Structure 1
Amino acid sequence: MKKRPVVAILTVILVIGLLSAGISGCGKKGGGENQPGQGSQKAYSFATAGTGGTYYPMGGAIASIVKEQGIDISVETSGGSAENLRLIQSGQTDMAWANASEIYWAWNGQEFFKDQKIQDFRLVAFAWGAAYHWVSLQESGIKTMADFAGKRVSIGPQGSGSAIFGETFLKHMGLWDKVKVMYYPPEDMADGLKNRTIDVMGYFSRVPWAAITDVSALTPVNLIDAPSEGEQKGFGQKYPFYLIQEVKSGTYKGQEKDIKFYNNPVYLVVHKDVPEETVYKMLQAIYSDSGQAKLRQTHKAGEDMTLQNALLGMDKLAVPLHPGAEKFFKEKGMTIPPNISSSS
């Protein structure tokens, strides 16, 4: 009978020890380094977008490429560009893809980020150019922006760069209050158009966009030349970071002539606290011969993510480059624009 208190005390000590071990193993998601002796590599989270666009597969390619450098990345779906920057700011993700427009607005607290400056991210590299496709079925008779009135228009998931562009453009064109706005993710847009639950789908994607290929294989589509009308109303003058991209005839089934779309460059961004050495090693892997081959094999967007293009358009954004990226590009003999230098 006298031994029972001793047994009880030992049991309590054992339970406390197990709980302490469990607590010490917990930490912030992403960017954490496992305890010595556990044999695991560093783990980071990478926010992309829906699985039907370019962001998700290209995020997967980056994760695969950098794994050989001992960098473990978990690729996650999200609402897209704008949400990605907010996720970085709140510490819920470590790295992401983001469009030039959202990067500029978030950093300066403008437009959709009014009064909420987001500045805990840093630029790493230009990735690719994404064209905003406006598409309808030919049978709908929707050929111009004016034809959108009274129609169901999907502009991408809420919080995404696509949805922000769609709202910005429709408001500029005086159509925002004249359409029924839908927020389909890219993987559902093709079905929405084929099933006639939406009349127009709009989304940023590298050319060619698989959703158009999917729909046009069954039903003729109209590709809508938004810049021809937008520029008449000064859209490009007000939003100069939206470039104009020409898509050659024959790119999509039934496309008999060249057409123009607005283009929004995509960048790789990371939280400012991601270690310099991590970003440096990531870029070593991304711009290696095997890394470049992997990007090209994954998606045509990978053709754009070259060392030659790495700093493209960053001077217009005036957002600091991550120190790890600056170190890497300087070693490659590249000139860093003064207004993005992390040492300025």
Structure 2
Amino acid sequence: MRKIFSMVCITLFSLSCLFAAGTTEAKPAAAASSYGKVPAYLSIGTSPSGQAAYTMGAGIASVVNKANLGTTMSVEETGGFPVNVQLLMNEEIEFGIINNMMAEQVYSATGPYTKYEKGKVLSMMNMGAAEMHIIVPANSAIKTVYDFKGYRVGVGQPGGIVLDVTTMFLDALGYKADDFKRFDINLANQCSYMQDGQLDVVMWIGGAPLAAVSELIASKDVRFIEIDDEAIKKMQQKSSVIEKTTIAANAYPGQTKAVQTFCTRQVLVARDTVSNEAVYQVTKQMMENVKDLAAIHISMGSISPQTATLGLNASTPLHPGAARYYAEIGMDVAAITAK
């Protein structure tokens, strides 16, 4: 998958123009070493154009291409995180943005990835939290996550990571296939169906605030369902990367109190065969050009030594090239680095 879509070309050209003024002179390429070389071409798998992962990928490619590393990084518009895993395993892309639950499963060849060889995809950086949202009409009889029986529940679209997470969560809670009527549809359709009275529960995992949820709240009186500690613990037994968190107060109009929930994280990953030098340089350019990244997608403005490895552990280990950069800036990452 080496072709660069015309849209990508336009995006990267626009980004280079954006950063042309007021930036420092690009650094010379690092000399080749025992860490390997930076290939002439690199690619990053993202998501459909217009979604957050695509925009993030465009930002990463922009700072890498500006650094005079002797490489050109292209952004691959893909069908989303599951497709990125396939492309990585098929060695059609070098980097990809996926979910850390997926990173854990593909690294250990478990869950839906048993057909793959273990240890072929390694983590590089946390790209931000994705919180589980559970929303019902304000007058609904549903009070907790244990009250879904007999209702119409949105669980995410086929082929997407959301469907994997919601299915795992509902299974952890002990629900059976016929306990409720499931709607395998995307977030926009879930919100539209709830607005029209055709859906009782919206379930979606993504970084708050989600535009479709904000639009739903603007047109219908709804409320969030909290996820209690016991339900979160059951989910954590399914996956070690699940974190207890909250949807911050005022993330949405009228939502004045924080909502307890759990989250996964979006992570940048690389194939294990990508040279240490290439991964090191991509990590370095991202960490040292956060302002440029934030100008493209606001969530990347939070990248820092304090956030870079959030949601990563020994089951989602770091690529040695990323670990090398983190160690250079004083981070202790030995326990979560691939051997």
Instruction: Give the TM-score normalised by structure 1.
Output: 0.76
Q: Percent identity?
A: 23
Farther off after superposition, 41-50 or 145-154: 41-50
Aligned to 1:215: 216
Q: Which has the larger radius of gyration?
A: 1
For residues 198 and 57 of structure 1, what CA distance do their matches in structure 2 show? 31
TM superposition shift of 1:295: 3.1
CA RMSD of aligned residues (A): 2.9
Which letter does structure 2 place at the counterpart of 1:337? A
Q: Distance in 2 between matches of 1:256 and 1:147?
A: 24
Match of 2:47 among 36, 46, 49: 49
SS for the counterpart of 2:303 is coil
Output one character per residue of 1:96-140: Cα deviation in whole Å (capped at 9) or x when no partner.
122222211222222333454453222211221211111233355
Match of 1:293 in 2: 291
Distance in 1, Cα, partners of 2:49 & 2:244: 26
Asked if the contact 1:279/1:325 (under 8 Å) is kept, the reply is yes
Summarize deviations over 1:13-59 as a string: whole Å, max 9, x none. xxxxxxxxxxxxxxx6379xxxxxxxxx9444322335575323322
Residue aligning to 2:325: 328
* 8 Å contact from structure 1 (residues 50, 187) kept in 2: no
Compute the displacement of 1:263 (Å): 0.8
Give 2:310's aligned residue.
Answer: 312
Is residue 70 of structure 2 the alignment partner of residue 73 of structure 1?
no
Give unmatched runs, 5+ long, in structure 1. Answer: 1-27, 32-40
Aligned partners of 1:180 and 1:253: how far apart in 2? 29
* Counterpart selection for 2:337 from 324, 340, 344: 340
* Match of residue 93 from structure 1: 93
Match of 2:145 in 1: 145
**Equivalent runs, 1:258-277 vs 2, <5 Å:** 258-277=258-277
Residue deviations 1:211-235 (CA, integer Å, cap 9, x gap): 211211111222111235614x733
Structure 2 unpaired stretches of 5+: 5-38
| Residue 193 of structure 1: aligned partner | 194
Alignment partner, residue 254 of structure 1: 254
- Structure 2 CA distance, aligned partners of 1:310 and 1:212? 28
- Specify the SS of the correspondent of 2:306: helix
Instruction: Output the CA distance in 2 between the equivalents of 1:250 and 1:264.
Output: 21
Residues 314 and 340 in structure 1, CA contact (< 8 A), matched pair in contact too? no
Q: Which residue of 1 aligns with 2:183?
A: 182
Task: Tell me, in whole angstroms, the C-alpha distance in 2 between the residues paired with 1:89 and 1:286.
Answer: 24
What secondary structure, in the 3-state scheme, does the structure 2 residue paired with 1:181 have?
strand
The CA distance in 2 between the partners of 1:42 and 1:156, in whole Å, is 38
Contact conserved, 2:125 with 2:309, CA < 8 A, in 1?
A: yes
**Does structure 2 retain, via aligned residues, the 8 Å contact 1:244–1:262?**
yes
Q: Paired residues, what number?
A: 301
Residue 159 of structure 1: CA displacement? 3.3
CA contact (8 A) 1:66 1:282 kept: yes
Going by fraction, where is helix more abundant, 1 or 2? 1
In 2, Cα distance between the equivalents of 1:265 and 1:151?
29
Q: Which moved more, 1:214-223 or 1:293-302?
A: 293-302
Paired residue for 2:159? 159
- Contact in 2 for aligned 1:50/1:185 (Cα 8 Å): no
The 5-angstrom pairing of residues 22-33 of structure 1 reads 29=2
Q: Decide whether aligned partners of structure 1 residues 283 and 148 sit closer, same or farther in structure 2, where only a CA change above 3 A counts.
A: same
Distance 1:226 1:188, change over 3 A: same
User: What amino acid is aligned across from residue 84 of structure 2 in structure 1?
Assistant: N
Conserved? CA contact 1:245–1:262, under 8 Å: yes
CA shift digits 1:239-262 (9 cap, x unpaired):
342111123332212224221111
Which region of structure 1 is more displaced relative to structure 2, 141-150 or 244-253?
141-150
Q: Identify the residue that residue 281 of structure 1 maps to in structure 2.
A: 281
The equivalent residue for 2:173 is 173
Contact 2:100 2:264 in 1 (8 A): yes
Do the aligned partners of 1:53 and 1:186 also contact (CA within 8 Å) in 2? no
Q: 1:287 to 1:221 in 2, by over 3 A?
A: same
In structure 2, relative to structure 1, the CA distance for the partners of 1:313 and 1:171 (3 Å cut) is closer
Tell me the TM-score normalised to structure 2 length.
0.77
Q: Within 2, Cα distance between the matches of 1:300 and 1:261? A: 23
Tell whether the 8 Å contact from 2:94 to 2:270 is kept in structure 1 after alignment.
yes
**Maintained 8 Å contact 1:192/1:198:** yes
